[in-house]
Chain A
């Protein structure tokens, strides 16, 4: 699966530029299905490789799925994960990991 490869690629580098990652998703909507799948399948791998890094998963009914990335000095960046599948979510995560704040 492409997502698994991306997650392997990220490895333990979550904290390279980032300070915190937040995933907002809806528990049941179709638009959040990809995000839900991503968490279901890859969260454990990601967390095991980055045990001290905060990956806040915040489920809330009716919200649009969003990936929030916080860098140093409070700078934040968000990416909408609306209707993305798990692979695309992984790619979005990869992009914020590698982006310089």
Chain B
């Protein structure tokens, strides 16, 4: 080939690939086009680099290689047999023919075999239209069938209320098996039997009990594993935990039917879709109120799923009425630097930092159920990068092994003081990371816990000699709106309200039952604005229907400090409106009209308060750890003896933790199944 001679020289500029020629690169040809790759790259990855997609079923770039579907067979020039592209590493000088006669024949043959036992379910299959088998048979399959035999059928398995299984459609790619074993850490799925009688399942009737179980629905290339509650689309982010996982929300009519993951390398690769749900909005009345009071007589509490636009509108409204009593439900220690310095309350190492660190200390958190995707990353790092994990807190199953140091605050104190044996391990870590869970900071001694954690972080940073840019101290939040509220300057926890009970209390999506009527003066007036009123709406005098996160363009900041946007997936039902618009309307009635009319103007205001709030999809570095630590040293609180127990311990605690999931029938089924077994959940018998 004439082009091959030009790339025989060291410079790789002649080639499509963007990586510079390293010392060990291997030259390979894809359909005659030369490409330089690192040794160990597989044929499939090499072709992808050039832009040629090789069809496959069992290969997934986040799972281990299986090579059992054989759809990726390609011909190598002058080789006697085609090779499985997903598994075969390239050798120097190979010419990979991705569209030759032999390759095409191989694909047609594999397709024929796969379809021979596959049922004719396309018209009734949920996967129709997004089915890999359909797409690849159109592109690579033969146009006529030679099949005159009978097909085999397989019994359906019950693996829980979220995953519908029609195992007859299974093509045994084993993606679900590998996912369960590698990523989720629960080795429940496997293959039994061989040849024609091979079946994928749990063998004994067992629920696939993992917080990541819903992901197999997305992984399965055919309609064997589909979503039980289910069905159509826009892109958004998930606000049911503070990781802000990127999702695609599928809707039909006015209801959210399912949630799919969206790829965002920096955050995570698998989204937790254990939250497909349907909204059931009750009829909410919309009353007008024109009497307003001022100053410390008015206060507000913001709940866990409020977007930044609403938070700033509420703050501006109350500030203009001369009130500073704006609180979040979730507590964060006020002492020391508090929330002045962002580095005090963010996951500073970021989620990508997990893959670089070599020792992680978890304090008072169960990341498996508080932030499952964070946990999946830790597990990945534990599997592939030899990450050591240690935990101070209640012993829980994290899906990977870790060094359990104890659950008492005594242990924490000893590590901070340098007297615990673990300190030696910590001192030797090259890139240590300390993560404290927000639930530990909710305690009365939260400030003391934070002080201890800060000390541990500073000490291990000093002893590791790691470079200036590496951050050790991290806070793992559980509540989606918390970071934005802290960025905007909200007070943390409702103490301010308890100390000075206001006459008028505004509850913005606040359903955690922090303040009840009993805490307020006799004739107090409570306004609740939100989308799923449970506790908050019940005690309110006025209920204003707001929009949920899938129904508005809102800004949320995740636990890393990354601002992201949600988009409208469904229109808000009934008379519900976007939260900031309601607040803007109220401000007019109260005579303190807020100076913004469009969402862009609100965002400009957000920028005036904290510019990182409009830096979408980026994380801004925050510093001044030394200053924060100095201030925390002055904190004079002592640790309580109570052990550090996070609120979510087992999988049945995972499903109903916020007003949206508490209102969901599917989540209720999940809790029932987790407590009583899969057979206890009554399912309709339609396929």
In this assembly, does B656 line the interface, its C-beta being within 8 Å of a C-beta of chain A? no
Taking the complex as formed, is A82 at the interface, i.e. its CB lies under 8 A from any CB of chain B? no
* Residues from chain A with Cβ under 8 Å of B630 in the complex: 44
User: How near does chain A come to B33, taking the closest CB pair, in angstroms?
Assistant: 40
* Per-position binary interface string of chain B over residues 598-617, scored 1 when its CB falls under 8 Å from any chain A CB and 0 otherwise: 00000000001111100100
A94 at the interface (CB under 8 A from B): no
A58 within 8 A of B: yes
Once the chains are docked, how many angstroms separate the CA of A49 from the CA of B631?
Answer: 11
Q: Is B19 an interface residue (CB 8 A)?
A: no
A58 vs B338: C-alpha distance when bound (angstroms): 13
Contact B624 A47 (CB under 8 A): no
Task: Point out the residues of chain A lying under 8 angstroms from B335, CB to CB.
Answer: 51
Query: Is B342 in contact with A57, judged by CB distance below 8 angstroms?
Result: yes
> How would residues 10 to 51 of chain A score, 1 for a CB under 8 Å from any chain B CB and 0 otherwise?
000000000110101001000000000001100110011001
List residues of chain B with CB within 8 A of the CB of A73.
319-322
Q: How far is the CA of A74 from the CA of B591 in the complex (A)?
A: 13
Report whether over half of chain A's contact residues are helix, strand or loop; otherwise say mixed: mixed
B582 at the interface (CB under 8 A from A): no
Residues on A with beta carbons closer than 8 Å to the beta carbon of B534: none
Interface residues of A in 46-101 (CB under 8 A from B): 47-48, 51-52, 54-61, 63, 68, 70, 72-74, 76, 78
Instruction: Please report the C-alpha to C-alpha distance between residue A60 and residue B342 in the assembled complex, in whole angstroms.
Output: 11
Across the interface, name the chain A residue whose C-beta is closest to B318: A74
Which B residues are CB-close (under 8 A) to A57?
Answer: 340-342, 624
Cα of A47 to Cα of B631 in the assembled complex, Å: 8
**Chain B residues within 8 Å of A70, by CB:** 319
Report A-chain residues with C-beta under 8 Å of the C-beta of B634.
48
Are B610 and A74 within 8 A (Cβ)?
no
Closest residue to B317 on the A side, CB-wise? Answer: A74
Across the interface, do B340 and A19 meet the contact criterion of CB distance under 8 Å?
Answer: no
Given A44-B627, A56-B489, A57-B340, A74 contacting B621 (CB threshold 8 A): no
Residue of A nearest to B609 (CB): A22
Main secondary structure of the interface of B (DSSP, over half): loop
In-complex Cβ contact of B631 among A39, A44, A52, A54 (8 A): A44
Task: Tell me if B487 is interfacial: C-beta within 8 Å of chain A.
Answer: yes
- The smallest C-beta distance from B451 to any residue of chain A, in angstroms, reads 14
Report which of A27, A47, A74 forms a contact with B340, defined as CB distance below 8 A: A47
Tell me whether B324 is interfacial, beta carbon within 8 Å: yes
Question: Which residue of chain B is the closest to A23 with respect to CB atoms?
Answer: B340
Q: Is residue B316 contacting chain A, with contact meaning CB distance below 8 A? A: yes
Question: Chain A residues near B620 (CB, 8 Å)?
Answer: 27, 59-61
A19 to B319, CA, bound (A): 9
Shortest distance from the beta carbon of B561 to any chain A beta carbon, whole Å:
10
* Residues of chain B with a CB closer than 8 A to A54's CB: 338-340, 489
Q: Nearest chain A CB to B483's CB is how many angstroms away?
A: 12
Q: Give complex CA distance A50, B149 in Å.
A: 84
Closest-by-CB residue of A relative to B610 is A58
Contact among B319, B321, B627 with A40 in the assembled complex (CB-CB below 8 Å): B627
* Nearest A-chain residue to B315, judged by Cβ: A74
Residues of A within 8 A of B83 (CB): none
Are A60 and B631 also in contact (CB < 8 A) when A19-B319, A27-B623, A47-B340 are? no
Does B337 interact with chain A (Cβ within 8 Å)? yes
With a cutoff of 8 Å between Cβ atoms, the chain A residues found around residue B339 in the complex are: 54, 56
Distance between Cα atoms of A55 and B620 in the complex (Å): 18
Closest chain-B Cβ to A36's Cβ sits at a distance in Å of 9
Q: How far is the CB of A44 from chain B (nearest CB, A)?
A: 5
Are B489 and A68 within 8 A (Cβ)? no
Q: Which residues of B contact A68 (CB under 8 A)?
A: 608-609
- A56 touching B324, Cβ below 8 Å: no
**Distance of B628 from chain A, by nearest CB (Å):** 9
In the complex formed, the residue of B with least CB distance to A68 is B608
CA A52 to CA B627, docked complex, whole Å: 16
Residue of A nearest to B488 (CB): A56
Nearest chain A CB to B25's CB is how many angstroms away?
35
Task: Tell me which residues across on chain B come within 8 A of A56, comparing CB atoms.
Answer: 339-340, 487, 489, 610
What mask results when residues 308 to 328 of chain B are scored 1 for a CB within 8 Å of chain A, else 0? 000000001001111010000
Closest 6 CB pairs of A and B: A74-B320, A74-B319, A60-B611, A58-B610, A60-B612, A63-B611
17 interchain pairs (CB within 8 A)?
A19-B324, A22-B489, A24-B610, A40-B624, A43-B340, A43-B627, A44-B631, A52-B334, A54-B338, A61-B615, A61-B620, A68-B609, A73-B319, A73-B320, A73-B322, A74-B322, A76-B608
Query: What 4 new A-B contacts, CB under 8 Å, besides A19-B319, A48-B634?
Result: A47-B340, A58-B611, A59-B623, A76-B608
